[in-house]
Chain A
Amino acid sequence: QKEVEQDPGPLSVPEGAIVSLNCTYSNSAFQYFMWYRQYSRKGPELLMYTYSSGNKEDGRFTAQVDKSSKYISLFIRDSQPSDSATYLCAMSVVRLQGAQKLVFGQGTRLTINP
Protein backbone atom coordinates (compact mmCIF):
# COMPACT_ATOMS: atom_id res chain seq x y z
CA GLN A 1 0.00 0.00 0.00
CA LYS A 2 1.31 3.44 -0.92
CA GLU A 3 1.80 5.85 1.96
CA VAL A 4 -0.18 8.52 0.11
CA GLU A 5 -2.90 7.83 -2.46
CA GLN A 6 -4.17 10.45 -4.89
CA ASP A 7 -6.38 9.99 -7.93
CA PRO A 8 -4.30 11.14 -10.92
CA GLY A 9 -7.36 12.18 -12.93
CA PRO A 10 -7.43 13.88 -15.35
CA LEU A 11 -10.24 16.05 -13.99
CA SER A 12 -11.98 18.50 -16.31
CA VAL A 13 -14.64 20.97 -15.07
CA PRO A 14 -16.30 24.12 -16.44
CA GLU A 15 -15.20 27.57 -15.30
CA GLY A 16 -16.91 28.64 -12.09
CA ALA A 17 -17.38 25.11 -10.77
CA ILE A 18 -16.33 23.99 -7.30
CA VAL A 19 -13.43 21.57 -7.49
CA SER A 20 -12.70 18.93 -4.86
CA LEU A 21 -9.31 17.24 -4.76
CA ASN A 22 -8.51 14.50 -2.25
CA CYS A 23 -5.77 12.32 -0.82
CA THR A 24 -5.75 9.46 1.62
CA TYR A 25 -2.77 8.30 3.64
CA SER A 26 -1.76 5.40 5.82
CA ASN A 27 0.88 6.83 8.18
CA SER A 28 -0.84 8.17 11.29
CA ALA A 29 2.39 9.98 12.26
CA PHE A 30 1.91 12.62 9.55
CA GLN A 31 1.29 16.03 11.11
CA TYR A 32 1.90 18.55 8.32
CA PHE A 33 -0.28 18.46 5.24
CA MET A 34 0.41 20.49 2.13
CA TRP A 35 -1.00 21.16 -1.30
CA TYR A 36 1.37 22.08 -4.09
CA ARG A 37 0.38 23.36 -7.52
CA GLN A 38 2.53 22.57 -10.54
CA TYR A 39 2.06 24.30 -13.87
CA SER A 40 3.40 22.72 -17.03
CA ARG A 41 7.19 23.03 -17.35
CA LYS A 42 7.50 24.49 -13.84
CA GLY A 43 8.40 23.15 -10.43
CA PRO A 44 5.75 22.68 -7.73
CA GLU A 45 4.82 25.73 -5.65
CA LEU A 46 3.26 25.60 -2.19
CA LEU A 47 -0.41 26.53 -2.26
CA MET A 48 -1.53 25.77 1.29
CA TYR A 49 -0.43 23.92 4.37
CA THR A 50 -2.22 22.83 7.52
CA TYR A 51 -0.95 21.44 10.78
CA SER A 52 -2.89 18.54 12.30
CA SER A 53 -6.67 18.47 11.77
CA GLY A 54 -9.08 21.19 10.76
CA ASN A 55 -9.79 23.63 7.96
CA LYS A 56 -7.80 26.46 6.50
CA GLU A 57 -9.11 29.00 4.02
CA ASP A 58 -7.17 31.29 1.69
CA GLY A 59 -9.23 33.19 -0.84
CA ARG A 60 -10.91 30.71 -3.17
CA PHE A 61 -8.99 27.77 -1.68
CA THR A 62 -9.93 25.70 1.38
CA ALA A 63 -7.84 22.86 2.77
CA GLN A 64 -9.37 20.27 5.09
CA VAL A 65 -7.67 17.59 7.15
CA ASP A 66 -9.51 14.71 8.81
CA LYS A 67 -6.89 12.77 10.74
CA SER A 68 -9.40 10.26 12.08
CA SER A 69 -10.16 9.18 8.50
CA LYS A 70 -6.62 9.84 7.22
CA TYR A 71 -8.14 12.01 4.47
CA ILE A 72 -7.27 15.47 3.21
CA SER A 73 -9.07 17.67 0.72
CA LEU A 74 -8.54 20.83 -1.27
CA PHE A 75 -11.55 22.79 -2.46
CA ILE A 76 -11.36 25.44 -5.16
CA ARG A 77 -14.35 27.78 -5.42
CA ASP A 78 -15.23 29.79 -8.53
CA SER A 79 -12.59 27.91 -10.50
CA GLN A 80 -10.74 29.81 -13.22
CA PRO A 81 -8.89 28.63 -16.33
CA SER A 82 -5.69 29.84 -14.62
CA ASP A 83 -6.26 27.14 -11.97
CA SER A 84 -5.53 24.50 -14.62
CA ALA A 85 -2.49 22.65 -13.30
CA THR A 86 -1.43 19.48 -11.52
CA TYR A 87 -2.20 19.52 -7.80
CA LEU A 88 0.05 17.50 -5.51
CA CYS A 89 -0.71 16.64 -1.92
CA ALA A 90 2.27 16.19 0.39
CA MET A 91 2.70 15.23 4.02
CA SER A 92 5.40 15.01 6.63
CA VAL A 93 6.08 13.97 10.16
CA VAL A 94 7.02 16.93 12.33
CA ARG A 95 10.78 17.19 12.69
CA LEU A 96 11.86 19.82 15.14
CA GLN A 97 15.36 20.01 13.75
CA GLY A 98 16.72 19.47 10.32
CA ALA A 99 15.26 19.24 6.87
CA GLN A 100 11.72 18.08 6.24
CA LYS A 101 11.05 14.81 4.46
CA LEU A 102 7.91 15.15 2.34
CA VAL A 103 5.88 12.25 0.98
CA PHE A 104 3.90 13.19 -2.12
CA GLY A 105 0.80 11.88 -3.79
CA GLN A 106 0.84 11.15 -7.50
CA GLY A 107 -0.80 14.47 -8.39
CA THR A 108 -4.17 15.23 -9.99
CA ARG A 109 -4.19 16.94 -13.35
CA LEU A 110 -6.97 19.55 -13.39
CA THR A 111 -8.32 21.44 -16.41
CA ILE A 112 -10.81 24.31 -16.06
CA ASN A 113 -12.68 24.88 -19.32
CA PRO A 114 -13.74 28.45 -20.21
Chain B
Amino acid sequence: ETGVTQTPRHLVMGMTNKKSLKCEQHLGHNAMYWYKQSAKKPLELMFVYNFKEQTENNSVPSRFSPECPNSSHLFLHLHTLQPEDSALYLCASSAISRRGDNEQFFGPGTRLTVL
Protein backbone atom coordinates (compact mmCIF):
# COMPACT_ATOMS: atom_id res chain seq x y z
CA GLU B 1 0.00 0.00 0.00
CA THR B 2 1.14 3.53 -0.77
CA GLY B 3 -0.25 5.27 2.31
CA VAL B 4 -3.01 6.95 0.30
CA THR B 5 -6.51 5.51 0.64
CA GLN B 6 -9.60 6.31 -1.38
CA THR B 7 -13.26 5.52 -0.77
CA PRO B 8 -15.42 4.29 -2.28
CA ARG B 9 -13.48 2.10 -4.73
CA HIS B 10 -16.48 1.89 -7.05
CA LEU B 11 -19.40 4.26 -7.49
CA VAL B 12 -22.38 4.19 -9.82
CA MET B 13 -24.55 7.30 -9.86
CA GLY B 14 -27.29 8.88 -11.88
CA MET B 15 -26.94 12.29 -13.48
CA THR B 16 -29.11 13.93 -10.81
CA ASN B 17 -27.35 12.40 -7.80
CA LYS B 18 -24.91 14.09 -5.43
CA LYS B 19 -22.02 12.05 -4.11
CA SER B 20 -18.55 12.61 -2.65
CA LEU B 21 -15.21 10.90 -3.11
CA LYS B 22 -12.84 10.76 -0.17
CA CYS B 23 -9.07 10.58 -0.04
CA GLU B 24 -6.87 10.25 3.03
CA GLN B 25 -3.09 10.21 3.19
CA HIS B 26 -1.04 8.86 6.09
CA LEU B 27 2.34 10.10 4.88
CA GLY B 28 2.57 13.52 6.49
CA HIS B 29 2.49 15.24 3.10
CA ASN B 30 1.38 18.81 2.50
CA ALA B 31 0.20 18.69 -1.11
CA MET B 32 -2.75 16.72 -2.44
CA TYR B 33 -4.03 16.24 -5.97
CA TRP B 34 -7.08 15.00 -7.87
CA TYR B 35 -6.57 13.37 -11.27
CA LYS B 36 -9.00 11.96 -13.83
CA GLN B 37 -7.97 8.87 -15.81
CA SER B 38 -10.12 8.04 -18.84
CA ALA B 39 -9.63 5.23 -21.32
CA LYS B 40 -7.23 6.12 -24.13
CA LYS B 41 -6.39 9.51 -22.58
CA PRO B 42 -3.50 10.69 -20.41
CA LEU B 43 -3.96 11.29 -16.71
CA GLU B 44 -5.48 14.74 -16.36
CA LEU B 45 -4.67 16.92 -13.39
CA MET B 46 -7.87 18.42 -11.97
CA PHE B 47 -7.01 20.18 -8.71
CA VAL B 48 -3.96 20.81 -6.54
CA TYR B 49 -3.95 21.73 -2.87
CA ASN B 50 -0.82 23.06 -1.23
CA PHE B 51 -1.02 23.37 2.57
CA LYS B 52 -4.83 23.21 2.29
CA GLU B 53 -4.95 26.09 -0.22
CA GLN B 54 -6.11 25.36 -3.73
CA THR B 55 -3.30 26.34 -6.06
CA GLU B 56 -4.48 24.79 -9.31
CA ASN B 57 -7.85 24.35 -10.97
CA ASN B 58 -7.26 22.91 -14.40
CA SER B 59 -10.41 24.34 -16.01
CA VAL B 60 -12.56 21.73 -14.34
CA PRO B 61 -16.37 22.10 -14.70
CA SER B 62 -18.15 23.39 -11.62
CA ARG B 63 -20.04 20.10 -11.22
CA PHE B 64 -16.80 18.92 -9.59
CA SER B 65 -16.16 20.68 -6.29
CA PRO B 66 -13.04 19.89 -4.25
CA GLU B 67 -12.63 20.36 -0.51
CA CYS B 68 -9.48 20.08 1.58
CA PRO B 69 -10.30 20.51 5.29
CA ASN B 70 -6.77 19.61 6.41
CA SER B 71 -3.55 18.38 4.86
CA SER B 72 -4.51 14.69 5.35
CA HIS B 73 -7.96 14.70 3.78
CA LEU B 74 -9.26 15.61 0.36
CA PHE B 75 -12.79 15.34 -0.98
CA LEU B 76 -14.30 15.63 -4.43
CA HIS B 77 -17.99 16.53 -4.35
CA LEU B 78 -19.94 15.50 -7.41
CA HIS B 79 -23.32 16.77 -8.64
CA THR B 80 -25.28 16.67 -11.91
CA LEU B 81 -22.55 14.71 -13.65
CA GLN B 82 -22.61 13.63 -17.28
CA PRO B 83 -21.95 10.14 -18.68
CA GLU B 84 -18.63 11.40 -20.13
CA ASP B 85 -17.48 12.00 -16.54
CA SER B 86 -17.26 8.23 -16.07
CA ALA B 87 -13.59 7.51 -15.34
CA LEU B 88 -11.09 6.46 -12.69
CA TYR B 89 -10.52 9.32 -10.23
CA LEU B 90 -7.14 9.19 -8.59
CA CYS B 91 -5.94 11.04 -5.54
CA ALA B 92 -2.25 11.66 -4.90
CA SER B 93 -0.14 13.36 -2.26
CA SER B 94 3.41 14.63 -2.07
CA ALA B 95 5.80 16.36 0.26
CA ILE B 96 7.09 19.81 -0.59
CA SER B 97 10.83 19.98 -1.15
CA ARG B 98 12.96 22.89 -2.25
CA ARG B 99 14.39 20.84 -5.09
CA GLY B 100 11.04 20.29 -6.74
CA ASP B 101 11.42 16.52 -7.12
CA ASN B 102 8.37 15.76 -5.02
CA GLU B 103 7.33 12.17 -5.64
CA GLN B 104 3.59 11.85 -5.86
CA PHE B 105 2.05 8.82 -4.17
CA PHE B 106 -1.22 7.68 -5.66
CA GLY B 107 -4.22 6.01 -4.13
CA PRO B 108 -5.97 3.08 -5.84
CA GLY B 109 -8.64 5.30 -7.34
CA THR B 110 -12.43 5.40 -7.42
CA ARG B 111 -14.01 3.88 -10.52
CA LEU B 112 -16.98 6.16 -11.26
CA THR B 113 -19.79 5.26 -13.64
CA VAL B 114 -22.41 7.88 -14.46
CA LEU B 115 -25.64 6.51 -15.91
Residues of A bordering B, CB below 8 Å? 2, 4, 6, 8, 31-32, 41-46, 49, 51, 88, 90, 92, 94-107
Contacts and interface: CB of A to CB of B under 8 A. Distances in A.
A7 to B, nearest CB: 12
B108 A42 contact: yes
Given A49-B101, A98-B50, A101-B48, A43 B107 contact: yes
Contacts of B41: 106
A99 B43 contact: no
Interface in B37-60: 40-43, 45, 48-50, 55-56
Contacts of B48: 99, 101
Main secondary structure of the interface of A (DSSP, over half): loop
Nearest to B56: A101
Contacts of A2: 42
A99 B56 contact: yes
Given A99-B50, A105-B42, 5 more contacts: A46-B104, A49-B103, A94-B100, A99-B102, A104-B42
Most chain A Cβ neighbours within 10 Å, of B41, B42, B48: B42
Given A43-B4, A44-B106, A45-B106, A101 B45 contact: yes
